[in-house]
Amino acid sequence: MKREPLALLGGAPVIDKPFPSYNTIGVEEKRAVMDVLDGGELSGFIGAEGKQFWGGQRVRALEAAFCDHFKVKHAVAVNSATSGLHASLMAMDIGPGDEVLVSPYTMSASATTILLCGAVPVFVDIEPDTFCIDPDAAAAAITPYTRAIVAVNIFGHPARLDPLRALCEKHGLFLLEDNAQAPDAIYRGRKAGTVGHAGVFSFNRHKTMQCGEGGIIVTNDDKIALKAALFRNHGENLVEPMGLTDIVNTLGVNYRMGEMEAAVAIEQFRKLPELNRARIALCERLTRGLRELPGITPPRVFEDCSHVYYFYVMKYDERITGIPRDLFAAAVKAEGFPVRAGYLKPLYLQPLYQHKIAIGRDGFPFSENLRNANLSYAPGICPMVERLESHEILLTSLIYPPLEEADMDRFVEVFVKVLNNRDALSSAGRSAAAAD
């Protein structure tokens, strides 16, 4: 059988037209926004005692919908998931001198919100199949200064939440789930985001459900819910009128969600089961096509869990394929199927951690950590993260409707074409290296 030449080497690409963007906004969202505009109240919040301290009608309706769906006592809507993480940590009384364990393989806000509390993140290595924080590594990282663990349910699959929660119970720590990428994922019969003391969801424009910007905290802890709501909306004004003598260490910011965002979020949340169903069907089709290819390992879904696929993340073994990962990714992209070689550089390699200075001029909050001299952010502290990022991770976001199963089959065709041309690709790579 004749092999078609690779697009990277001058051949015709398998896919020669751009893919549609992800757009789940429909008439429902448009109608909901117009209802808000027609009513004239774009925000129902006032930073003072009274009903409006808790937000407008749609904000409260969104919170009620989350409480009902996730079977939790409280939901607190905020203007971003970053705000939700910050408010949750502040509600847990995280502060200067404290340490919080977190994965370095996540969006930066999972760690910077710890810094914004005046605490410091301690980065913990991840597991090779879930890509989430490793409970055993977390146990080894606990010190007398550890106050919480942030479990990021990365890419759409839950972390091993039961061992993490047990670890927190043993040591008197809080468990905060960053569930921005895993809405409605299941962990052992429970919704991801509800196993920890609090969980944070996202409505950012890139997420499965979106309202532009927005987030929400869920919790069964009365005090966390109250303090998060106070932090969301200038809570220092409410301590005395509400008689909150036990939480006077309260200050607030403006992390409030507007009524238009809430109106869109309500409609998007209603669509979430179908949006996830469509993604799961596409990913399962892609997995069926890729699982037999040498050197390509599709995402693993653990027993009693579900994966909702914010990204489709594969592990790549160049020892088996005979093609360096980055060259393989370049060849696949040239065929018209965008993939990324790696996800993000480990967070501890960012300048603010390398120099240990985040706020002001004098090293705060690292300077407040009693272990600062021995608190390492050096390359090599999380070897699994570094190995996966530098050599093994391939991912794509092209797993959303209106793409169809036929598109997934074309993606498999691209992978097969590149693998079948490994000799020509490797030869070209050697020639390029020699020319350099």
Residues known to be catalytic:
207
| Phi, psi (deg, nearest 5) at residue 370 | -70, -15
Of all helices (H) and strands (E), which one includes residue 394?
strand 393-396
Tokens describing residue 270: 């209603």
- Report the largest interatomic distance among the alpha carbons of the chain, rounded to a whole angstrom: 80
**CB contact at 8 A, 151 and 177:** yes
Three-state DSSP class for residue 100: strand
The position carrying tokens 């802890």 is: 221
Quote the DSSP letter at residue 418.
H
Long-range contacts of 355-360 (CB under 8 A, 24+ apart): 358/112, 358/115, 359/115
Angle at 194 between CA 189 and CA 199, to 5 degrees: 145
Residue in 343, 341, 306 with CA at minimum distance from that of residue 324: 341
Q: How far is CA 252 from the centre of its chain?
A: 25
**CB contact at 8 A, 298 and 308:** no
Quote the DSSP letter at residue 126.
B
**CB contact at 8 A, 174 and 189:** no
DSSP states along 163-206? HHHHHHHHHT-EEEEE-TT-TT-EETTEETTSSSSEEEEE-BTT
| Phi, psi (deg, nearest 5) at residue 306 | -125, 150
Contacts of 183 (CB under 8 A, 6+ apart): 192, 193, 201, 202, 207, 208, 209, 272, 276, 308
